[in-house]
Amino acid sequence: MARQKGIIKLKGTIGDITFYKTKDGHLAREKGGVDASRIANDPAFQRTRENGSEFGRAGKAGKTLRTALRTLLLNSADNRMVSRLTQAMVKVIQADLVNERGLRNVIDGEAELLVGFEFNIGGKLGTSLFAPFVGAIDRVTGEISVDLASFVPANMIAAPSGTTHFKIISAGAEINFEAETFVVASSETAILPWDFAPTVAINHLNTVTPNSVSPLFLALGVEYYQEVNGRMYPLKNGSYNPLSLVQVSGL
């Protein structure tokens, strides 16, 4: 891979050289590689096929989780979140001790490895919200909850410059990764002032299917706002809003 220099940037293929644009700039690489039919059939590429199968399964699992949490992610995700989540899902699948390589999956893996996953590297929950919270997942009732005792926002939320208000958000999600379906419920506080006045206790209850046999997730986040002339505006289009998976219950 080489970086293109000069005034004119190329896109497309000339001879054996492919020119293309990425987030890292305009690049060029030599055309080549192993024939696709050989990879699909040659025994020498068995491991490649197995890895490809599991990577594809991780990508689908990540997409299903992202779709379930889409409402929250609209304002709480960085531009590399998709690839980071896929990588995290690969680790979940690789923890599957039941199935053979190439057939490992999220259900038989360790979904709990996703605890602590930050959807927005630009604003992590762990370095933004310092108010103690208690998350709980009850499989029998399907109740996915998070509780925060009264706290002083200016002391317990490290808000970015320009913040005047905030909102606590959460969601409980039940994900069937094999069927690529989900049940999700979400909660949010009112828009609260980011000042030294203590909040009331915050109690979020997000209910999914009782006695579910699918992995369950609890996401918790903060949205920042700026008040201008009596109106609330999302601060910098939500680029600093944190959202994290704080509880996960696999099978």
Domain ranges of the chain: 1-32, 36-249
In a 10 Å sphere around its CB, with 0-12 CB exposed, 13-18 middle and 19+ buried, how is residue 76 labelled? Answer: buried
Q: pLDDT class for 39, splitting at 50, 70, 90?
A: very low
Work out the pLDDT band at 21, boundaries 50, 70, 90: confident
The tens digit of pLDDT for each residue in 138-152 reads: 999 999 999 999 999
**212-239 pLDDT tens trace:** 999 999 999 999 999 999 999 999 888 8
pLDDT > 90? residue 19: no
d(CA 94, CA 31): 31
For residue 65, what is the enclosing H or E element? helix 46-68
For residue range 44-72, list pLDDT tens digits in order. Answer: 545 566 667 788 889 999 999 999 999 99
DSSP-based three-state secondary structure for 82: helix
Mean pLDDT (the chain, rounded): 88
12 CB-near residues (< 8 Å, 6+ apart): 18, 19
Buried b / exposed e along 231-244 (16+ C-beta atoms within 10 A): eeebbbebbbbbbb
